[in-house]
Amino acid sequence: MNQSPKSSKKWVECGCFKRPWGIKGQILVFWNSGICPVKVNGGEVYIHEPERGYIPLIILNQRINDKKNVLSIKGIDTPEQVSFLINKKIYITEDNLGDLQADEYYCYQILGLKVKTVSDEYIGTVVKIFSTGSNDIYEVAKEDGKTVLIPAIKSVIKKVDVKAGILIIEPIEGMEL
């Protein structure tokens, strides 16, 4: 496998390899968004190794088996060959991300945002995102070490300013900040 050329590309974590699947070198994958972010049958994803940089992997096939994503990767044909990928994070370049509608954001854009109320009270920083099916939940770490859960719904999230690094919320009744 060849190392990708050094560049000023922005790398986005999009999933994680889990464990070998079957006897033909396939591997179970967890995608952050639930779906493969690149074209199957020739699309590239990357792993990062500190000593070698970003290493491309070509996806040959993906199948969904009981809601589990299973990949076949070019050049990998046995469980022993695929074992080096176990628990490695999967990356793509930011310019390979699909376009979003207005008021839609990728998880990596929300993580790290500073959260304030509409009355300019500082709450904390978004550290985790949970998907519940109907809406996401943002886990916000406060300065005192405690966390707050914020539902990502229009009645609560009033403004997202990725460039400024700010998320403005309007707390709803019963929300403990």
pTM, 2 dp: 0.68
Contacts with 92 (C-beta within 8 Å, 6 or more apart), sequence order: 11, 12, 14, 37, 38, 44, 45, 46
What is the chain's pLDDT, residue by residue, as a tens digit (177 residues)? Answer: 444 444 458 898 888 999 999 999 999 999 877 777 777 777 899 999 999 999 999 999 988 877 789 999 999 999 999 999 999 999 998 887 777 788 788 888 899 999 999 999 999 999 998 877 788 899 999 999 999 999 999 999 999 999 999 999 999 888 888
CA dihedral 102, 106, 107, 109 (to 10 degrees): -80
Mapped onto helix, strand or coil, the DSSP state of residue 150 is strand
**Residue 129 phi, psi dihedral angles, 5° rounding:** -130, 130
Task: Copy the structure tokens of residue 72.
Answer: 């076949």
The residue type found at 153 is I
Measured between alpha carbons, how far is 127 from 139 in angstroms, rounded to an integer? 6
pLDDT of residue 1: 41
For the chain, domains (ranges, CATH) are: 11-96 (2.40.30.60), 107-169 (2.30.30.240)
